[in-house]
A and B are shown apart, each in its own frame.
Chain A
């Protein structure tokens, strides 16, 4: 990832140092993956990079080996959590490092859209002579264009999602009627297969059918029922680079209405896909979907975006919504995520991830052709 580190160095050249505390920005700047960190809101890890090439991470004691074993070459301070109530120990460790590096009165970029207000206030009080500047926009611009290696990681993550979903479906086939297994077990099988195919972590994971599928998310419960549309959502990362996947299946042979509803969704996705090329504003992709939906009289969930970027997080700029003017450029990676409605108002989507090239886009989630609803049926043997 030397190319990425070079890009970061150049882009952040206007600061004497940059600090990232957001889990996604932390991974981006350091190359170190701490995906569970967001679930510990009182425990903070931060990475500091100076314009003269020095790097330092502060983290809780039990995350230290994580950092070291992922190849971090810079300094690390594992802070003692007895030194104060959160977030003070992390801030004390960070400001101590900054003082040692002579940054007390320098220009410091900080990801203020991720760091908590309390964290920022204490930090600024501790080093009042530093010039603290939000660097979120700079990070956004940096992150939005991927290097070739980043695209490769995203492509691999996409493959893991698809392998996870398809393998879990393979296990489901033949087991639906007798005795059947639960939706939570199915979801777990998606996770297991993502891991078995080499994925390094799973984030959001949910399978919904029937009335549950009318909402974005419902807790996992019950068993699969014949005749239902099923939505399977999983986000997973490959060494910190995320895939955000969602696919549709049907239990038993689909009804005509289900087939038609699924086709409607694909028609809108085709329209969006056609618009995905360098030079197109993000909002134009949304507009293309809107126009197609109007022409074909397909109802879609127009209050949400029709897609978004993926990278070191599973949902990030650019956003394919009616307001985002970001112009698509080569190196961007976006996931198309268009919600339409099934016969029972189930939310249908079939997400695909694309790399934006000069004159077209390239499908990264190519593992399987999803032009048809995945039909789950079969007779149980010794599967």
Chain B
């Protein structure tokens, strides 16, 4: 498993090639996810500090550079592959400090009149407006498309890492649910903790809000987020009961690359209705897997799954789409939704996630991580065969 002192996962060369072909003199990323992608520095708390800005400035000719508050400089240096860092001291106005530092970096590398790309879909409007004013001699344009394209197709090293993290997460979930005994129930809170602990035991990192395990049973399983605002701790003292459908969720990471997992447990031999509901999930997976291959549009996958659901009378919650990409975030392009016409390509990694309602309106999902291959797709990360739900041992 990779740890400190990362290699660049093949990203540096890919970015350089894309940049050379783009016509940009440089690109700038301010979004936490884009910063991690371009720098390799996985800073799990970055999303949570909206008043402190880190940016990556990547010129077509020359080395990339990070702009960071002083406090995080050594962290970024240690965790990422970008070694050139300009830090700024705390100021009354951190946007002002970051923009000023970034402006200096740009002016040291790029001549006036150059086209500069900025991730407008992430950069706060105030930041972008000030940067435009500060760099009024440059042409500041969106480079969101370039970054999206880059991030959607993973390098072989990224694929390996994501395969590893999805497998370990599945293993972590299974490790935890193996502790469930149908006749000796435990609370959701305690089992949600077991999921996190078992993931940690398998070398996963549990960082940020995302590392939330969820154990939702009975009436709580009818909700996406039971008992808000108490997130990620299950339904507190509620014990699992015989014959309930239990949804187990976990998001976890290794070196900033994420898994997005959910599995179904049934507390006993499934009833005919429960069996039918789970078979529905399997059928939707099968339909999606059959159609996913390079060249197929993401929207086509959505349509195939939606039609399969309709044909079988499955209560699909279609507003969420039926899946998405995964990488330095748990939810990213491409999106398996009705309007995303992005053609699938070899090297994309998808989380297939059709969400259906069970017999008691339970929210049922069994997320599968898929790699799009040259000829089709391959499910990654199954610790067990998920043709059927997990059914715990009956008694000690």
Give me the interface of A with B, judged by CB distance under 8 Å.
22-24, 32-33, 35-36, 38-43, 60-63, 65-66, 69-70, 78-87, 112-121, 134, 136, 182, 184-185, 187-188, 191-192, 195, 200-206, 214-221, 235, 237, 239-240, 301, 303-305, 313-317, 319, 321-326, 339
What chain B residues lie within 8 Å of A195 (beta carbons)? 189, 193, 230, 233
Contact for A23 among B50, B212, B229, B335, CB less than 8 A? B50
Known: A85-B340, A113-B95, A118-B144. A185 touches B200 (CB 8 A): yes
What chain A residues lie within 8 Å of B205 (beta carbons)? 184, 219-220
What chain B residues lie within 8 Å of A218 (beta carbons)? 4, 75, 78-79
Is residue B329 contacting chain A, with contact meaning CB distance below 8 A? yes
What chain B residues lie within 8 Å of A42 (beta carbons)? 121, 331-333
In the assembled complex, how far is the CB of residue A108 from the closest CB belonging to chain B, in whole angstroms? 13
What chain A residues lie within 8 Å of B92 (beta carbons)? 319, 321, 323-326
Residues of chain B in range 214-232 having any CB-CB distance to chain A below 8 Å: 223-225, 227-232
0/1 per residue, B82-125, Cβ < 8 Å to A? Answer: 00000101111101000000000000000000000010111111
Is residue B3 contacting chain A, with contact meaning CB distance below 8 A? yes
Do A303 and B142 have beta carbons less than 8 Å apart?
A: no
Contact for A82 among B44, B127, B318, CB less than 8 A? B318
Known: A116-B121, A188-B196, A192-B193. A235 touches B331 (CB 8 A): no
Known: A35-B231, A42-B331. A316 touches B124 (CB 8 A): no
In the complex, what distance in Å separates the CA atom of A323 from the CA atom of B121?
30
In the complex, what distance in Å separates the CA atom of A363 from the CA atom of B321?
48
Show 7 residue pairs from A and B whose CB-CB distance is below 8 angstroms, ordered by the A residue. Answer: A39-B330, A41-B121, A60-B319, A84-B339, A117-B128, A203-B48, A317-B51
Do B230 and A62 have beta carbons less than 8 Å apart?
A: no
Contact for B329 among A40, A184, A191, CB less than 8 A? A40
What chain A residues lie within 8 Å of B232 (beta carbons)? 201
What chain B residues lie within 8 Å of A205 (beta carbons)? 206-207
What chain B residues lie within 8 Å of A119 (beta carbons)? 121, 125
Do A114 and B224 have beta carbons less than 8 Å apart?
A: no
Do B48 and A112 have beta carbons less than 8 Å apart?
A: no
Do B90 and A305 have beta carbons less than 8 Å apart?
A: yes
Do B90 and A323 have beta carbons less than 8 Å apart?
A: yes
Do A85 and B45 have beta carbons less than 8 Å apart?
A: no
Is residue B157 contacting chain A, with contact meaning CB distance below 8 A? no
Do A39 and B320 have beta carbons less than 8 Å apart?
A: no
Do A61 and B32 have beta carbons less than 8 Å apart?
A: no
Q: Which residue of B lies closest to A37 (CB)?
A: B209
Is residue B52 contacting chain A, with contact meaning CB distance below 8 A? yes
What chain B residues lie within 8 Å of A70 (beta carbons)? 228-229
Is residue B23 contacting chain A, with contact meaning CB distance below 8 A? no
Is residue B210 contacting chain A, with contact meaning CB distance below 8 A? yes
In the complex, what distance in Å separates the CA atom of A287 from the CA atom of B122?
35
In the complex, what distance in Å separates the CA atom of A40 from the CA atom of B92?
28
Contact for B210 among A36, A78, A79, A239, CB less than 8 A? A36
What chain A residues lie within 8 Å of B91 (beta carbons)? 321, 323
Do B229 and A35 have beta carbons less than 8 Å apart?
A: yes
Known: A116-B125, A218-B79, A321-B91. 10 other contacts (CB 8 A): A41-B121, A112-B126, A113-B124, A188-B206, A195-B230, A201-B209, A202-B209, A203-B209, A217-B45, A304-B90
In the complex, what distance in Å separates the CA atom of A134 from the CA atom of B127?
12
Known: A113-B125, A217-B72. A39 touches B321 (CB 8 A): no
Do B44 and A204 have beta carbons less than 8 Å apart?
A: yes
What chain A residues lie within 8 Å of B122 (beta carbons)? 41, 116
Do B71 and A304 have beta carbons less than 8 Å apart?
A: yes
Do B48 and A314 have beta carbons less than 8 Å apart?
A: yes
In the complex, what distance in Å separates the CA atom of A80 from the CA atom of B316?
13
In the complex, what distance in Å separates the CA atom of A305 from the CA atom of B89?
8
Residues of chain B in range 301-323 having any CB-CB distance to chain A below 8 Å: 302, 317-321
What chain B residues lie within 8 Å of A78 (beta carbons)? 319
Is residue B182 contacting chain A, with contact meaning CB distance below 8 A? no
Contact for B223 among A65, A83, A220, CB less than 8 A? A65
Contact for B321 among A40, A81, A117, A136, CB less than 8 A? A81
Is residue B47 contacting chain A, with contact meaning CB distance below 8 A? yes
Is residue B300 contacting chain A, with contact meaning CB distance below 8 A? no
Question: What are the nearest 4 A-B pairs in CB distance?
Answer: A33-B229, A82-B338, A117-B128, A321-B90
In the complex, what distance in Å separates the CA atom of A324 from the CA atom of B97?
13
Do A304 and B223 have beta carbons less than 8 Å apart?
A: no
In the complex, what distance in Å separates the CA atom of A47 from the CA atom of B137?
37
What chain B residues lie within 8 Å of A121 (beta carbons)? 120, 125
